[in-house]
Structure 1
């Protein structure tokens, strides 16, 4: 299946033209361990895609459609959350984050990609309520400190398995924070600032103007400091995750300047999915399973956020492929069914959790096997982690391993988790080059956000200052981050788009996923 099969003429474009323009994952994998050689899968280009080339995304659903499709538990949870918000607003007033007013200035180049970053997308912040850097006032959402939610001690590491999986947090509420009203409330509650939100918007603008005319994004790009080799499937999945993290889908209000770009991106990416559920067509073979995990996360999120039936079959197919690709020892690495490392495995844990969040079928034994692999790379009695069994522990792998443990059922009062978080808090984001590790920051931000309390306050105080300050402020790359903020093992990371997406995910952390232990509290109160 060639990239030329998916030109712009085959896509069902929305009324507003989308911004256009252009393997880091292979390169990133190579930096983390010795390469594992593999042959590209045969016949990938000849396989019939799940979606026909003429298929279009569904029309925008109305409020009644969503209410009819919503399960009773979701409506009940929404009502509970709205009551909390209304009570909070009644106590602290209505001053908060102002609405971002954006406009797109687009041109048609006759089929050429706008990949040079020269299309300006001006932003107008009408009377921003906060000076950049000022913390939003705490209120609007009742936030319970994790230290107050003490549960029975979890089982020992060796005893984890199906029991731990069954006790995992109720993550089906996890994406509700992305709605417009909830975003403002969660920004206040968890310490977001006007600087963090402006940085997110600028990053989305950069992504929008670097989308290709075929709807895909590029890791190598025509922008500066691209990756060593390209992987459009992975790049597109990462870009879509950044937009979805801000609550933008193909079904968003058409007033959103980014919704057309997301629509075009999904039209293009879904056409590239194989009947087996796999997403991978070009790039380093060592990036094959990174690509699958990223695309699966994005697709499961899309289905969870929209509940549009057209997305269920491709999402379930992607999940099924993930399960089949799991190695016997419980993780994933470069090729399906062979070997495991923690870097790749962490992305698959998030893929399977996204599937559960969307209500898709996930083999529970696959989750049990992951816990077994995590035991193999655990150090310091489970508080720290290594890339491979027997290797030295690393900060990035410790953060990734702890996040996996949180999703697989470790409670916030688990001593191993708490000791691991202490390690993270001794290594806060630092603008110095030798402390710039975006990959580590990305995972650690999520771990600390789920822990809440003093752990999150300490991490966030550093992150919300350092990460926006490192964003490019002028020129054609304005809104992106230079790859040198990810000094993985002393070398450049995955290129400008890869690093920009990681930084964007970090700054969306306030609302991207609700803290999992808050979800447990909500579930217990319903």
Structure 2
């Protein structure tokens, strides 16, 4: 270690400074050690520097002249922004800096794989289903409080639901599920166009929903204006199904969000999730009402995945399963044998539950229902259906339409099934809808038959929906779509947007029940995604059945 230098006393003279030695030698050594690279750098560096400076100057001049207006505008914007910020609160910068996320750019994906065709284009909220924001103090006092929802032992997952060929659900809470993707966004527009809907049919749906919204009571319910005023659960579920079919939920912020929320609140308040009558709707007098209420809850949950709905939807489905009779049917009351008509509504509710992929449906319940369909089915292929047995079964009746739709949902009867082809032929040829009539016929039949033929697709569907093709002009007229639209009340007044009560079973539910069924029939193009792919064999089997 080197020692620290000792301080020099002040009284001692300063030591003499040695003379510099070898200065010239040092310069000669430096010159001798200069490399070829250094000599080259010293020779050319000045030229490079000058050339680079000239190029930089030229580039600067070009940028100055080319960008002069932009710079001026930018300066003006900065000044304006500075002045504005003095008067207003600071705002977040919402500029999209990532061009890869620019919503205005065309997707690079193929048309069939476009993201916007598989997503929802509405504003989505994430608020849990809570008390409706309405001025009615009674409604606020009776509103369902979501804090501390009691658990239900029956909700514990047990038997898994059927796999089937149903399109799977999934997705995030608050987003439209893929099982119901046809009800919103670009997918809805595509299905409407490809399925044979048009602007007139959508305008009729809009008018119908506007009329239904006006009929809602302050407690969120709807009431039939016919002979079944006491079936409030059924009326509420039916009206909600019409709104849900159009993509209106309490989470997707559209025109009728508040109406749907209040309606769901009513059903939830009247569907206990625990106790001896868990899942049974309070006030529901028949299994018809039970199924329609459950259908609305299951569809709303399947479309939004709102966790507040799930306990009630599951409880309502559990009650339906417990209420099934030994022969696989459902009667007016729980546990009693029933008929094909009541079975049709239970199957629709169970199907909505299965599509949600979260609500458990006992497979044994489905198997028993299929056995009942076999019991009431007639013909070698079971293409006609009776009431409680096969007696009286005939093609082209409301019960046959109900049976065929049930087969589609629970028994795998797709558009390539020979029995389905024969059944559809019967719907078109036997007691066909009298579309030329100025009086609405049996909407119960039209509602079921329209769904069956729509799922069958092909030429049969075009004939049903748009009418037969004129061999001379090639035009189609006299179809179900235009006939139903033309019968809607479009004269100003309290009934504007509704349909007059039909001449069949729905007429007993009055204008409300008939209108809800008409709206859902005109939503057939997108209300449900097809469960099965159709091959060319579908038309071939249909033509063979017609012969």
TM-score class normalised by the smaller sequence? 0.5 to 0.7
- Please state how far the C-alpha of 1:231 moved relative to its aligned partner: 1.4
TM-score (norm 2): 0.62
**Deviations 1:147-179, CA, capped at 9 Å, x for gaps:** xxxxxxxxxxxxxxx9x9654433544311012
Q: Aligned pair in 2 of structure 1 residues 238, 190: CA closer, same or farther (>3 Å)? A: same
Residue correspondence of structure 1 range 379-418 to structure 2 within 5 A: 379-381=378-380, 382-393=382-393, 395-408=397-410, 409-418=412-421
Encode CA deviations 1:269-301: one digit per residue, 9 max, x unaligned.
211112344344447x4xx10111011111111
Q: Deviations over 1:222-276 (max 9, x none)?
A: xxxx3343311111111111110000111111xx221111111112221111234
Distance 1:171 1:405, change over 3 A: farther
Q: Residue 48 of structure 2 corresponds to which residue in structure 1?
A: none
Matches within 5 A, 1:17-416: 83-84=111-112, 86=114, 167-170=164-167, 172=169, 173-220=178-225, 226-253=226-253, 256-275=254-273, 276-282=277-283, 285=285, 288-359=286-357, 360-381=359-380, 382-393=382-393, 395-408=397-410, 409-416=412-419
User: Is 1:420 aligned with 2:390?
Assistant: no
- Does the aligned pair in 2 maintain the 1:243–1:249 contact within 8 Å? yes
Task: Give 1:180 deviation, angstroms.
Answer: 2.2
State how far apart, in whole Å, the 2-side matches of 1:517 and 1:112 are. 47
For residues 433 and 383 of structure 1, do their structure 2 counterparts lie closer, same or farther at Cα, with a shift above 3 Å needed? farther
Q: Does 1:487 align with 2:499?
A: no
CA distance in 1, matches of 2:108, 2:309: 28
1:495 Cα offset (Å): 1.4
Aligned to 1:478: 496
Note the aligned Cα RMSD (angstroms): 3.0
Return 5+ residue gaps in structure 2 as ranges.
1-106, 118-133, 140-158, 170-177, 467-478, 537-547
Tell me if structure 2 keeps the 8 A contact 1:449–1:515: no
Name the counterpart of 1:515: 530
Separation in 2 of the partners of 1:109 and 1:314?
26
Shift of 1:433: 6.7
Deviation at 1:109, TM superposition (A): 9.9
Distance in 1, matches of 2:214 and 2:349, equals 27
Q: TM-score, length-normalised on structure 1?
A: 0.64
Q: Which has the higher contact order (CA 8 A, sep 6+)?
A: 1
Instruction: Note closer, same or farther for the CA distance 1:403–1:262 as it changes in structure 2 (3 Å cut).
Output: same
Q: Deviations over 1:423-444 (max 9, x none)?
A: 1112145242788111111011
**Rounded Cα–Cα distance in structure 1 between residues aligned with 2:530 and 2:278:** 30
1:506 aligns with 2:503: no
